[in-house]
A and B are shown apart, each in its own frame.
Chain A
Amino acid sequence: MDTSPSPKSQYLLFFRNSGPENYQGLSPEQRQRLVERWNAWFEGLVAQGKASEGQPLETETRVVSGPGGRRIVDGPFPEAKEAIGGYVRLEVAGLDEATEIARRHPGLEHGLVIEIRELTPHCHLGVRTRPAAGA
């Protein structure tokens, strides 16, 4: 058994529908306020130890598929709404807390869609380093 203190779970918040077109109608002042509120949201979480990292993703993309990676497609794709624009990694008590945090996001009123996914404790590094994991 793991003896580390209180089991916090890790979640990734994926930001979708965060393309520039969502903010086109905002005035410069409104844009600036949004940047400030968005940063305050994130910095607040960092200060409480609830967020460990977060980053925007470039819109240019490349998708590899098929055996041997034969199919390579350059993006961006027409369904820009579905594209992941960035992510934040949370370390919180559970899905409910992660949901509450997501609900306070200032980008929501501008169409932002947030998907919450828990990081499982299993991963291929974990398999090697944690002998107790498998049972």
Chain B
Amino acid sequence: MEGTGPSPEPAAREPAALVEHFFRHETGRLHGALVRLMGVQNLAVAEDVAQEAMLRALRAWAMGGVPANPSGWITRVAMNLARDTMRHRRMAFGKEPALITHFEQHLATPAVAWEGAREFRDDTLRLMFVCCHPSVARDAQVVLALKILCGFSAGEIARAFLASEAAIEKQLARTKQRIAESGIGFELPEGEDLAPRLDGVLATLYLLFNEGHTASSGDRLLREDLCGEAMRLADLLVAHPAGRSPRSHALLALLCLTAARFPARVDERGGLTTLADQDRSKWDRALFERGLVHLAEAAAGSDLSEYHLEAGIAACHALAADYASTDWARILQLYDELIRLKPSPVVGLNRVVALARARGAQTGLEALEDLQGRERLDDSHLYHAVRGQLLLEAGRPAESAESFRLAHRLARVDPEREHLARRLETASLAGESAEPLVPELSPGRRSSRRA
């Protein structure tokens, strides 16, 4: 058409860059704001609206560049879509008076109200309490939290858990149905309700983190994101008066102290490294500091939870210059308390490792025989790996090799298999290996999912 086009703005714009995971986290943020407007029973509608807003953003920003305030842009679009959707529903389904009134009142408030950081924080926290409601099974909570709070797609969740996308979709639909039917409110729990509901949230975040860091299956990078998400949500939790309990601080401390060791978990060739031979200079000191700060906060009051104990154990490792100078006696003491609070064969197995380090391989082997619920560990490669190591140290290389062989057969992840193959070789060489090489059994290591 004309050669001197009137286009006023293009070409001159400074495209803004999107922060990492922007779309993902923004989806979670929108869900909070939208559920507040539409009510918990309309969670699925809120998801559709958020999804549509994200698609519009994708289209507009791909062709037109990212706006200066992407979050504000997308919130505006989502709120308009929500209003249209609710009007449409009112016409289509007759009157839902309470809902509509609720909704219109919210729309009458100025836009800044829901763009404010505080509102967002509150909404996300409320949504966290919804997703972790006791009426929903724990496994389902983790999946729902990933979808609703963290903005993962069903496909991503499926990849992280080596499940089929259809199975995840089905589970999500069921969970949402259940939430819609159970009449969960969007208020923050108060008074006597708060503590048990908060425990539910903490348990889910703990499980989410463990799903990410137990390398039992799935896409490794995605699984690391799960750990990051658990930490992000725990951060939100302790930043809020309703979520700021010593227990919450203890959980966040545990997550920070555990994640701080991640950079050293694999060596240059991608092989698994044990706590004993990790290059501790690779540990994330800043994360350790954060963990220790939260551990100090967690000490306020008299509450002593499993998170306190596990964080305490992680702190012992963080503070040790190397494996040999680790305060094993203190770790053993913490495990003794932990096993009282939360008896489980896996905690017991971890305790045996600490015991063997504190009092010698022979003592460890004896404790291994007496382990509560030992029969449940028969199929665990960790059990056989620990046994193999202790037998090797106790000077029984033939039996040790047998245990490592069994562990190798039971291990499912390649790096673990390789590691165990190397241990098997060492044991088979029958020489006395004085190196204290024990597979890292971090305290959180237990959950296993079959989705």
A125 to B2, CA, bound (A): 6
A34 to B63, CA, bound (A): 11
Give the residues in chain A near B18, CB-CB below 8 Å. Answer: 32, 35-36
CB–CB B52/A20 < 8 A: yes
CB–CB B24/A29 < 8 A: yes
A39 contacts partner chain B, Cβ-Cβ < 8 Å:
yes
Give the residues in chain A near B60, CB-CB below 8 Å. Answer: 56
A31 to B61, CA, bound (A): 11
Give the residues in chain A near B21, CB-CB below 8 Å. Answer: 28-29, 32
B interface, by DSSP: helix, strand, loop or mixed?
helix
CB–CB B61/A27 < 8 A: no
B343 contacts partner chain A, Cβ-Cβ < 8 Å:
no
Cross-chain contact of A20 among B7, B27, B56 (Cβ < 8 A)? B56
Interface segment, one of B125-133, B147-155, B260-268, B410-418? B147-155
Cross-chain contact of A27 among B56, B66, B156 (Cβ < 8 A)? B156
Output the nearest chain A residue to B20 by Cβ-Cβ distance.
A32
**Which residues of chain A from 12 to 69 have a CB within 8 Å of any chain B CB?**
15, 18-20, 23-29, 31-32, 34-36, 38-39, 42-43, 46, 52-56
Give the residues in chain B near A126, CB-CB below 8 Å. Answer: 3
Give the residues in chain A near B63, CB-CB below 8 Å. Answer: 15, 18, 38, 54-56, 85-86
Give the residues in chain A near B4, CB-CB below 8 Å. Answer: 125
Binary flags per residue of B17-31, CB closer than 8 Å to A gives 1, else 0: 010011110110000
Give the residues in chain A near B23, CB-CB below 8 Å. Answer: 28-29, 31-32
CB–CB B64/A35 < 8 A: no
B373 contacts partner chain A, Cβ-Cβ < 8 Å:
no
**Which residues of chain B from 93 to 152 have a CB within 8 Å of any chain A CB?**
151-152
B301 contacts partner chain A, Cβ-Cβ < 8 Å:
no
Give the residues in chain B near A55, CB-CB below 8 Å. Answer: 7, 10, 63-64
Known: A18-B63, A28-B151, A54-B63. A35 touches B58 (CB 8 A): yes
B65 contacts partner chain A, Cβ-Cβ < 8 Å:
yes
CB–CB B11/A31 < 8 A: no
Binary flags per residue of B42-86, CB closer than 8 Å to A gives 1, else 0: 000000000110111111111111100000000000000000000
Cross-chain contact of A35 among B27, B51, B62 (Cβ < 8 A)? B62
Known: A53-B7, A54-B10. A28 touches B27 (CB 8 A): yes
A residues contacting the other copy or chain, number (CB 8 A): 33
Give the residues in chain A near B52, CB-CB below 8 Å. Answer: 20
Binary flags per residue of B146-173, CB closer than 8 Å to A gives 1, else 0: 0000011101100000000000000000
Give the residues in chain B near A104, CB-CB below 8 Å. Answer: none
Cross-chain contact of A28 among B7, B54, B56 (Cβ < 8 A)? B54
Shortest CB distance A52–B (Å): 6
A27 to B1, CA, bound (A): 39
Output the nearest chain B residue to A21 by Cβ-Cβ distance.
B55
A15 to B24, CA, bound (A): 26
Binary flags per residue of A77-118, CB closer than 8 Å to B gives 1, else 0: 000000001100000000000000000000100000000000
A70 contacts partner chain B, Cβ-Cβ < 8 Å:
no
Give the residues in chain B near A25, CB-CB below 8 Å. Answer: 155
CB–CB B2/A56 < 8 A: no
A71 contacts partner chain B, Cβ-Cβ < 8 Å:
no
Cross-chain contact of B153 among A18, A19, A28, A123 (Cβ < 8 A)? A28
Give the residues in chain A near B436, CB-CB below 8 Å. Answer: none
A42 to B63, CA, bound (A): 8
Output the nearest chain A residue to B159 by Cβ-Cβ distance.
A27
Give the residues in chain B near A29, CB-CB below 8 Å. Answer: 21, 23-24, 156
Give the residues in chain B near A36, CB-CB below 8 Å. Answer: 18
A126 to B57, CA, bound (A): 37
Known: A27-B153, A28-B151, A123-B3. A53 touches B59 (CB 8 A): no
A56 to B59, CA, bound (A): 8
Output the nearest chain A residue to B1 by Cβ-Cβ distance.
A123
CB–CB A86/B54 < 8 A: no
A36 to B16, CA, bound (A): 10
Listed residue (A32, A54, A123) with the most chain B CB atoms within 10 angstroms of its CB: A32
Give the residues in chain A near B5, CB-CB below 8 Å. Answer: 53
B15 contacts partner chain A, Cβ-Cβ < 8 Å:
yes
A38 to B55, CA, bound (A): 15
Give the residues in chain B near A24, CB-CB below 8 Å. Answer: 51, 55
Give the residues in chain B near A56, CB-CB below 8 Å. Answer: 59-60, 62-64
Give the residues in chain B near A52, CB-CB below 8 Å. Answer: 11
CB–CB B59/A23 < 8 A: yes
Q: What 5 A-B pairs have minimum CB-CB distances, sorted nearest first?
A: A56-B63, A20-B55, A28-B23, A27-B153, A86-B63
The 11 listed contacts between A and B (C-beta, < 8 Å) are: A20-B56, A28-B21, A31-B54, A35-B61, A38-B63, A53-B10, A55-B64, A56-B62, A86-B63, A107-B62, A125-B4
B residues adjacent to A (C-beta < 8 A):
1-5, 7, 10-11, 15, 18, 21-24, 26-27, 51-52, 54-66, 151-153, 155-156
A residues adjacent to B (C-beta < 8 A):
15, 18-20, 23-29, 31-32, 34-36, 38-39, 42-43, 46, 52-56, 85-86, 107, 123-126
New A-B contacts (17) at CB < 8 Å, excluding given A35-B66, A86-B64: A18-B59, A20-B52, A20-B55, A20-B56, A23-B59, A27-B156, A28-B24, A32-B18, A32-B22, A35-B18, A39-B62, A53-B11, A54-B11, A56-B59, A56-B62, A85-B63, A86-B63
